[in-house]
Amino acid sequence: MTMDSTVLSTPGAGDSVSYPLDPLSGAEIETAARIITESEYGTPTLKFVMIQLAEPDKTPELTFAGAEVSRQAFVTMYDGAAKMIYEAVVDVVAGTIDAWKAVPGRFPSYLVEHMTGVEEKVRQDPRWQEAMRKRGVTDFSLAMIDPWPAGYYGQQDHYDNSPLICRPLTFMRAAPSEHGYARPVEGLIVTFDLDAMEVVDIEDHGVVPLPPKAGNYDPRFMFDPDNRPAFTHFRDGVKPIEITQPDGPSFTVDGWNVQWQKWSLRIGFNPREGLTIHEVTYTDRGETRPILYRGSLSEMVVPYGDSSPTHWNKNVFDMGEVGMGFSANPLTLGCDCLGEIHYFDGTVNDSSGNAVTIPNAICMHEEDYGISWKHTDFRTEEVEVRRSRRLVISMICTVGNYEYGFFWYFYNDASIEVEVKLSGVLTTGSIPEGELPRWGKMVAPGIYGPNHQHFFNFRLDMSIDGPGNSVYEVDSVPEPDPALNPHKNAWITQDTLVASEAEGARDWNWSTGRYWKVANPSKVNELGAPTAYKLTPKEVVPVMVQEGSYIYDRARFVQHNLWVTKYDPAEMFAAGDYMYQSADVQGLPEFIADDAPLEDTDVVLWYTVGAHHVVRPEDWPVMPCAYAGFHLKPVGFFDGNPALDLPPSPPAACHSAHHAGLPVAERARES
């Protein structure tokens, strides 16, 4: 792994902040917490859930260049004694609390200590210990206890003065550091009170033998003959690939602002969303043109399709119930990125209001991406070819067993791609010998992976050449007039305006090659058409969540591929602000209820990406990356190919061993 030697310019605790959209520094996080703690609102039982930037209101120019730096923190808190969430806006410069609000009847996402404090308490519970002895386990120190969010069992989870709960699941290691997910303890469910930090109840649905075979991926275990390894040594013939940029990377970084070729953007980070992208513009013939005001993951959910007691209620909102920023990896433990890399630290808070730095939470680098465009004139044998390059901005999060990589790609043809990479370890179930799972697939003897899906909703606050945009659904259909289609080969495209929020929930149609276009009716290209970008799916999966299930109402955003709303700064999360331990319909269905007009206004796209997972033995013991995402591409935004001005690659970059001795003309033709 190669890393540049530039000192990180990301502000940290105590550093000055130069732009209104910069994430809160560590000093600002702790200042906000101190102001609240020392105020009349502070109590001994008040805990800080999330402390993040209260982003300033949009300006007409869609930028804060030259604006006064105003710094406010948006703080969510939970008082377990009062069973109450509080929200506050704190001016960290003036030292004032500018707003305070109680949010009754809701539950917060996890506090930091919940992820680490539950395990030891469960191990000490005599009811849990007795259930483990029934399964032949006496060394409780080898138990892995994952504090799964509660999901929703019914009204017993949400009544007046309900405790905040989780439902931990148990797995067994055979030795310290060994792969515990290979031995799930089936049928054992704990209900745990996170307010009192104690076990409330134990459900034991019967003993299922622990799977007999290890599932390790750590070389310390894989090469142990007693561990029945899948292979005995690393494969041969893998020669190094080195990515070098002798003159350094093509991007420049100033704080959180990034300039790369004709792109300009700002990077953000907060505990809930993790990586955010702001003020994306592209310079075209000297004009700086806005494209995307703000882009972020707005929510995700993982519904499981298994009716057995241990699995039916696994429906975690990993962002809203845990927090992607809290879950971000420090990208220093392996080759997560390759090349000349610039890292950004992420700063979050603990429940006492202390700042916690995640080193290298965001990775940025350039990648070669094959051919951008090429043509060979076969008559003259003249060849013109340009290589594509993309700027990669990424974050990888670990939420229990799964890893999620979130990648934003900016290409030199002015397109944008968002990709989710899914890896890590399956959540598993045990099954008696000789049986086959009905709602999953076997991955190893005695162990199966339940059927499940992953859905990620991305919030895209569009600004195509400015804030006044309209959204069209574009379908390709056979020529409808028979007189104009005598050869039965003609087809046309039809644009359907999404006129209001009542029409804003849209679904993809494979048979028409559907995509969605965001256009600016006030600006036209040289052909007289409104400038626009289009959103195109990469892969669309069917939704298996069924009406009548609790998760159907809790995650309504998965029911449509695209939602379109009018911009409202209070509407940030597709499933609502607080979905933990609640079955209420929140989020996007509420956002569109007022049926706001959408033509020539400030629009927000909410696009849902899905991953459909029927597991394979090849997904075990650790899963190769699966990919999901979408593209944003210019469609009439430019008057021609925006990558036409790319310079040719130098010959040295295109050499190969087999033609090193060929004449220059022949080498050019082969390259």
53 contacts 325 by C-beta, under 8 angstroms = no
Distance CA 244, CA 242 (A): 6
- 653 alpha-carbon distance from chain centroid: 34
Distance CA 314, CA 413 (A): 41
Which pair of tokens denotes residue 646? 């790319």
Query: Which residue in 426, 445, 450 sits closest to 435, CA to CA?
Result: 445
Query: Which residue in 270, 253, 275 sits closest to 396, CA to CA?
Result: 275
Query: Which residue in 247, 249, 244, 269 sits closest to 259, CA to CA?
Result: 249
pLDDT tens-place string over residues 401-446: 999 999 999 999 999 999 999 999 999 999 998 999 999 999 999 9
Q: Which of 402, 472, 533, 580 is flagged as catalytic?
A: 402
> What are φ and ψ of residue 618, in 5° steps?
-70, -10
Give the CA dihedral 230, 231, 235, 236, nearest 10 degrees.
-160
* Residue 11, pLDDT score: 40
62 contacts 520 by C-beta, under 8 angstroms = no
Distance CA 489, CA 539 (A): 27
* Residue 13, pLDDT score: 37
48 contacts 64 by C-beta, under 8 angstroms = no
Run of H or E residues at 149: none
| pLDDT band at residue 9 under the 50/70/90 scheme | very low
The Cβ of residue 357 has, within 10 Å, a number of other Cβ atoms equal to: 15
Beta sheet of 447-450, edge-to-edge order: 429-430, 447-450, 440-444
126-134 vs 114-123: helix axis angle to the nearest 10?
70
Sequence-distant (6+) residues with CB within 8 A of 158 are: 107, 152, 581, 582, 583
Distance CA 572, CA 74 (A): 13
* Residue 578, pLDDT score: 97
Which residue, chain included where needed, has tokens 């591409």? Answer: 633
The Cβ of residue 13 has, within 10 Å, a number of other Cβ atoms equal to: 16
Tell me if residue 402 is catalytic. yes
Q: Answer whether residue 670 shows pLDDT above 50.
A: no
Instruction: Give one word for 414, left, alpha or beta, with left for phi > 0 and alpha for psi -120 to 50.
Output: left
Which pair of tokens denotes residue 457? 């909703």
Tell me if residue 318 is catalytic. yes
Domains and CATH numbers, the chain: 26-103 (3.10.450.40), 109-239 (3.10.450.40), 251-304+315-426+451-635 (2.70.98.20)
Lowest mean pLDDT among 8-17, 122-131, 275-284: 8-17
- Omega before 647 cis (within 30°)? no
The Cβ of residue 451 has, within 10 Å, a number of other Cβ atoms equal to: 20
Residue 388 exposure: Cα atoms within 13 Å on the Cβ side: 17
SS3 of 285, please?
coil
213 contacts 182 by C-beta, under 8 angstroms = yes
Torsional sign, CA 565, 636, 278, 340:
positive
Distance CA 611, CA 452 (A): 9
Helices (H), 353-473: none
Q: How far is CA 89 from CA 36, 80, 275, in A?
A: 10, 21, 22
* Residue 653, pLDDT score: 62
490 contacts 500 by C-beta, under 8 angstroms = no
| pLDDT band at residue 507 under the 50/70/90 scheme | very high
pLDDT tens-place string over residues 518-537: 999 999 999 999 999 999 99
Q: Answer whether residue 394 shows pLDDT above 60.
A: yes
Distance CA 374, CA 382 (A): 11
* Residue 16, pLDDT score: 57
pLDDT tens-place string over residues 190-224: 999 999 999 999 999 999 999 998 887 777 665 55
Distance CA 206, CA 204 (A): 6
* Percent of the chain surpassing pLDDT 90: 83
Query: Which residue in 572, 501, 506 sits closest to 535, CA to CA?
Result: 506
* Residue 667, pLDDT score: 42
DSSP states of 472-501: EEEEEEE-S-GGG-TTS--EEEEEEE--BG
Query: Which residue in 287, 264, 268 sits closest to 277, CA to CA?
Result: 268
Q: Answer whether residue 568 shows pLDDT above 80.
A: yes
SS3 of 127, please?
helix
Give me the mean pLDDT over the 221-233 stretch.
Answer: 59
The Cβ of residue 593 has, within 10 Å, a number of other Cβ atoms equal to: 10
Task: Supply the Cα-derived Rg of the chain in whole angstroms.
Answer: 27
Give me the mean pLDDT over the 614-621 stretch.
Answer: 96
* Residue 6, pLDDT score: 31
pLDDT tens-place string over residues 123-144: 999 999 999 999 999 999 999 9
The Cβ of residue 200 has, within 10 Å, a number of other Cβ atoms equal to: 13
Q: How many helices (H) and strands (E) does the chain have?
A: 7, 32
Distance CA 555, CA 212 (A): 37
Which pair of tokens denotes residue 451? 């059927």
Q: Which of 91, 318, 345, 461 is flagged as catalytic?
A: 318
Distance CA 389, CA 413 (A): 9
Distance CA 589, CA 575 (A): 9
* Residue 652, pLDDT score: 67
Helices (H), 257-408: none
* Residue 665, pLDDT score: 44
Sequence-distant (6+) residues with CB within 8 A of 139 are: none
Widest distance between CA atoms in the chain: 84
Provide the β-strand partners of residue 304: 452
Distance CA 552, CA 589 (A): 12
Q: Answer whether residue 663 shows pLDDT above 80.
A: no
Query: Which residue in 461, 275, 247, 242 sits closest to 363, CA to CA?
Result: 275
Residue 624 exposure: Cα atoms within 13 Å on the Cβ side: 4
Distance CA 248, CA 4 (A): 8
DSSP letter at 557 equals: G
Give me the mean pLDDT over the 239-249 stretch.
Answer: 89
Distance CA 342, CA 169 (A): 38
Which pair of tokens denotes residue 455? 């859905």
* Residue 222, pLDDT score: 58
Torsional sign, CA 613, 608, 146, 346:
positive
Q: Answer whether residue 661 shows pLDDT above 50.
A: no
Q: Answer whether residue 659 shows pLDDT above 50.
A: no
| pLDDT band at residue 660 under the 50/70/90 scheme | very low
| Mean per-residue pLDDT of the chain | 92
Give me the mean pLDDT over the 231-250 stretch.
Answer: 86
Give me the mean pLDDT over the 446-475 stretch.
Answer: 98
- 26 alpha-carbon distance from chain centroid: 23
